[in-house]
Amino acid sequence: MKSLFDLIRFLLVLSAFGLIPHLVLAEDAPLKLTIDATAEGKPISPDLIGVFYEDLSYAADGGLYAELIQNRSFEFGPADHEGWNALTGWDVIKPEEGRARVIIDTGLPIDPNNPHYAVLGVAAAGETVGLRNYGYDGIALKAGAAYGFSAFAIQLADAPGPLRVALEDADGEVLAETTLPPATGRWEKYEATLTPDADCDDARLIVTASHPGRLGLDMVSLFPADTFRGHPNGLRPDLAQAVADLKPRFVRFPGGCLVHGDGLDNIYHWKHTVGPVERRKTQRNIWNYHQSFGLGYYEYFRWCEDMDAEPMPIVAAGVTCQNSGAGVSRRWGQGQRAIPTEDMPAYVQDVLDLIEFANGPTDSKWGAVRAEMGHPEPFGLKYLGVGNEDRITDEFAERFEMIFDAVREKHPEVTVIGTSGPWPDGEDYDRGWALIRQLGVALVDEHSYKPPQWFWDNLDRFDDHDRDGAKVYLGEWAAHDDGRRPTLRAALAEAAYLTSLERNGDVVVMSSYAPLFAKRGHTHWNPDLIYFDNQRFYPTISYHVQKLFGHHAGDEYLGQVDGVDVAQTQLASSVVRDRQTGDVIIKLVNAEPDAAAVDVTLAGADGFAGEATLLTLAGDDLDRTNAAGAPDPVLPEETRVSVDEHFSLTLPPHSFSVVRLHRPPGVH
């Protein structure tokens, strides 16, 4: 090289071709951020950060719903999954010789909604017959913890005898056992508490009879006493708490594609999911497994209440998923189908009945059902989504309008959320928005599953949105990196996009990452916010991004870093204020491979001078994930920074930083 100039030019050429990291010269000027802490900000929706829950990837049975027994009511079948039957999840225990056996019968069910039950037939004294259940990939037990066993039983023939119930490990060692009293000639519920004397990750439940006769058995359940907030028929506490820790302002449920199902016979009917669990009508899941509906509409509303989050149920808009007819996992199906016009009044009434279930007085039909389940006070439903990622066909538009008009007339206090189709652009998107404007719908659900770069390229997507028209709910969105991996690259793109949603928080009033849960080994969709198994859960880097935004939300937008060219660099920012506390919150995303310096000028610094909280989420490689067993997961780190009228921040490479400037009490 002839000179230093030649060396620098050579290094710049290498950098341009990606042969060395991006070169940042020492004389590069720091970024400038000017904050007027006394200025009036632009309003941000207080409900901007929420969650979307769908019974997908075993998110309910085998997941959030705390029931430990798979196929407890013997209703599995080949329609759920190829090769399944009423004894899927169970092994039959019987002697090698003799006439003892287990059959599935339908002649005398507990309820027509629950038609199948097992019959244990003991032919002679000395025989033992029964069932063994392995739960969902084994039953995880903790020594000394209480587990509630229950089952419905009926003596069908001969004299009754006792029923042995036990928990065993994989080697057949008994961890806990009890004996239930003899059954009677009618269906009755029998209960006992089992307390294992050792931890076990792969236990199984054993139910056996040794008294000659025929015994009917149904709704065989094993439920931990430790549920979220201690509710009966409740939720797995660690998973429910992981969602509560996000501080969601709302919960959208139960889907997703689940709501309009896999054909007209598979649309999600909320009435099938309420009342006593033994009388709920189970059905196949569009994601190719079975729904017990133990986690039903009552439990969803109760979960929202426990988290102080607004419930947002979604109902089908009178049409099925356009991909339905063969099961989503066996793509693709017959196309969108519509409920016949003559059947729509009854369907519309079902929707109105849902609102009555949530909000009606105890002397109303469905308010009384809610009260009987244990909640006489209304749940205070404010939002109702109608439709999900639907093709905006004439059939859809006609049925959506029927539902929308009925809800607007009968329940003007409930905001109906429309849909703009499956994608954030295209023919359905345009038709969906045209219908929204035509009908005067106040809020519309948009979905955006795109590569990380799309979110960087669309940080200005809502800057010029019509401020007088319908507001936007970004109901399902996530950055899909190569291979659909939940990487740091994806999480930083999502953080950047969230800064733009805060900037446009007067128009984008709600958002929820999707999907929320996926069970390891049973995952139908990637990426997800939280992965889990029977013992623990694994929050992704995207989870921590959502959590930081949830914990450090604001309701006024104050500004952003000056002069950043988003077309040339992956830097994003927002400054918001929490009017309740007076705190000012700075969010800074640096997806570049080099550190970035930010000089902050803070007008009105007298109220904030001193130290501020700095939370940083950073990694050395954009391909990093928080996969199960990762030796060094990417987690937020908390430090303190000095704050005055002028102070500086250094943003690490590949990082998302949150600075919270605390307004002291009494300072205005």
Q: Which of 310, 389, 502, 556 is catalytic?
A: 389
Task: Give just the sign of the alpha carbon dihedral 22, 26, 27, 30.
Answer: positive
Burial (CB count within 10 angstroms: exposed 0-12, middle 13-18, buried 19+), residue 137: middle
Contact between 383 and 310 (Cβ < 8 Å): yes
Distance CA 281, CA 267 (A): 13
Let me know: does 533 contact 57? Beta carbons within 8 Å: no
Of 127, 118, 129, nearest to 93 by C-alpha is 129
- Count Cα atoms within 13 angstroms, Cβ side, for 285: 22
Contact status, residue 132 vs residue 120, Cβ threshold 8 Å: no
Listed in sequence order, the residues at least 6 apart from 128 whose beta carbon sits closer than 8 Å to its beta carbon are 93, 94, 95, 100, 122, 208, 209, 210
User: Position 189: which residue type?
Assistant: K
**Burial class (CB within 10 angstroms; exposed 0-12, middle 13-18, buried 19+) of 52:** buried
The tokens of 123 are what?
């032919």
Residue 351, C-beta contacts closer than 8 angstroms, at least 6 positions apart: 315, 384, 386, 403, 406, 407
Nearest to 648 by CA among 602, 610, 612, 597: 597
502 catalytic residue (yes or no): no
With b meaning 16 or more CB within 10 Å and e meaning fewer, what string describes 593-604? Answer: beebebbbebeb
168 in Cβ contact with 174 (< 8 Å) = yes
**Spatial distance between the Cα atoms of 638 and 267, rounded to a whole number of angstroms:** 46
- Identify whether the C-beta of residue 527 lies closer than 8 Å to the C-beta of residue 542: yes
CA dihedral of 326, 329, 331, 333, whole degrees rounded to 10? 20
Tell me if the bond preceding 90 is cis, omega within 30° of 0: no
Q: Are strands 556-559 and 129-133 parallel, antiparallel or unpaired?
A: unpaired
| CA–CA separation, 586 and 583 (whole Å) | 10
Contact 131, 120 (CB under 8 A): yes
Rounded to whole angstroms, the Cα distance separating 161 from 73 reads 22
For 142, the 3-state DSSP assignment is coil
Is cis: bond before 527, omega within 30 of 0? yes
The alpha-helical segments, DSSP class H, found in 510-627 are 541-551
The SS3 of residue 326 is coil
Catalytic residues: 389
